Chain A
Amino acid sequence: MPLLDALSAEFMQRALLAGLLVSLAASYFSPFVVQRRMAFLGSGLAHAAFGGVALGVFLGWAPLYTALPFTVAAALAIVAVRHHSALDIDTAIGILFALAMALGMIFLYLTPFYTRDAFTYLFGSLLALGPSDIWLAAGVCALTAALVPWWSAWAFASFDRELAVADRIPANRHDYLLAAALAALIVASIKVVGIILVSAFLVLPGAAARPLAKRFRTFTLLSLAIGTSTTIGGLLLSAPLNLPSGPVIILCQCGVFAAALLAARWQD
């Protein structure tokens, strides 16, 4: 499909809008994920979302609306385990999310008219994007915007948690807020990038921005620029190449990450 035809198609406009909204929110959170070493949490939450989606398919409800409470609950549970239990956090994430994934696959196989729908969620599908997905993406974007006032407190706690706590920043409570926001974001991005790749959305923009940035402000701004431009670029590339959108976006981000590493080394 030539590029202009692609742009005039309604599904493509919808995809671009959803992609832009979701990537804005994801690349805003990405520096926190990278700086606080939460990459495994992101990946785990994506797997939990699969359990939520499958529960929805099993019950015959709209999957995104079971996935949202399911994933947010999993995120809050993980933060609670980290704060209150001696269990190693890495192991705890691995166990909880393997369980969610196993449950999800059992739900799917027990569904009488199990269709290939699940793969829409695993790999993302632009064609399947509906108005409700746009609203969900817009909602998550609005939520992110509402959380911007906490930016400096979160940035502070990301670098020196003890000092932040001494400065009366309630870092523990903020952990719950951040994890719940990440969960909502992951659920909203499922249709655009797919469960398998959504955690990359949270890691790559930040990872690419970090070697180039000296302050957290530029870190965040660069991450936003990289995240949104690669998403739009990836979506536009995927239509004429006839490739799934998620992987193309991620590969664009990987390219920028590699370029950023080289640029940082060259600067030294």
Chain B
Amino acid sequence: MNALHEMLRAWAASGADSGWLPSTFQYAFVVNALLSGLVIGPLLGAVGTMVVAKRLAFFSQAIGHAALTGVAVGILAGEPYTQPFVSLFAFCILFALAMNFARNHTRISSDTIIGVFLAISLAIGASLLLFVTARINVHVLDTIMFGSILTVNDTDLNILWGMTLVTLIVGLVNFNRMLLSTFNPALARVRGIRVRWQDYLFILLITLLTVASVKIVGAILVEALLLIPAAAARNIARDLRSFVAYSCIIATISCLVGILVPLQFNLPVPSGGAIIMVAAVCFLVSLVLRAAVPALRDAA
């Protein structure tokens, strides 16, 4: 894949030279960031529709925050602090599976369980982070929490491609079963679908995507990119197909605009913040559209 990235970067640089692309495109990190935005936008947008339908907002927020701890563990284990992927994926997957297991196997309400797991992971993560950043650069914290496009490189892009592949395979093989388990679990059970298994699969998918997007959007805000585009799409969609399509489009636009605008106008704003602000504007527009267009108000 590195050759493809190289090709795209060269193409963008020549475009910037000849003037039909903005001059920021000559920088490799800009192209890298935009490429990753193009990949995570549609993915998070599509998966986000199910996050909204399953009411997993708090759950996915907890996974995003767990990435803080994953990074801390990685730095302690001696991985490079810009790419502690092994610890990051391992910790977040374990965390998500354990949390879902506890949700299914105790009588305590789901949101209390999530709150407790969130607290444990953050308490460990905060202690470790403060401990390791005393030795490394404090600005590592900024990068992890709020996202930084400056550090995106070929390895990150390759991981994103890998996640895309996994999501596509799981999605295509399982699409109908997953959809039915999300929107009508009772009917799914009658049809012989193992809903609980589908649940685990879906949670695994969110975790992989969340962790892969932490670099761009930041651990604190990655949940919002699952949530806001889907909520906006729900306001203006008339059926399931347009719900998913709009959500993908809004998420992708948010990523691209959020990455480009601060660069273009030289604003000292982290990419995560800008991306979420763009998504929030889209959400506001969708609210206005829903109020203004009668046909949308009657739709589900």
Contact = CB atoms under 8 A, between A and B. Distances in A.
Interface of A: 34, 37-40, 42-43, 47, 87-88, 90-91, 93-95, 98-99, 101-103, 105-106, 109-110, 116, 119, 123, 194, 196-197, 199-200, 203-204, 206-207, 210-211, 243-244, 246-248, 250-251, 253-254, 257, 261
Q: Give chain A's interface secondary structure class.
A: helix
A200 B112 contact: no
The listed residue with most A CB atoms (<10 A of its CB), out of B116, B124, B131, B274, is: B116
Interface in B99-135: 106, 108-109, 111-112, 114-116, 118-120, 122-124, 126-127, 130-131
8 contacts: A39-B112, A39-B114, A94-B228, A95-B280, A99-B276, A102-B273, A109-B273, A204-B115
Interface stretch (B1-9, B182-190, B201-209, B264-272): B264-272
A88 B57 CA distance: 11
A250 B119 contact: yes
Given A110-B268, A251-B120, 4 more contacts: A40-B58, A119-B141, A200-B116, A244-B130
Contacts of A194: 126
A123 B272 contact: no
Interface string B55-87: 101100100010000000000000000000000
**Range class of the B interface residue count:** 35 or more
B95 interface: no
Contact of A250 (B111, B123, B146, B273): B123
Interface string B160-191: 00000000000000000000000000000000
B39 to A, nearest CB: 21
Interface stretch (B24-32, B216-224, B240-248): B216-224
B4 to A, nearest CB: 32
Given A95-B280, A103-B277, A254 B120 contact: yes
B227 interface: yes
A194 B65 CA distance: 15
Given A95-B228, A105-B146, A244-B130, A200 B269 contact: no
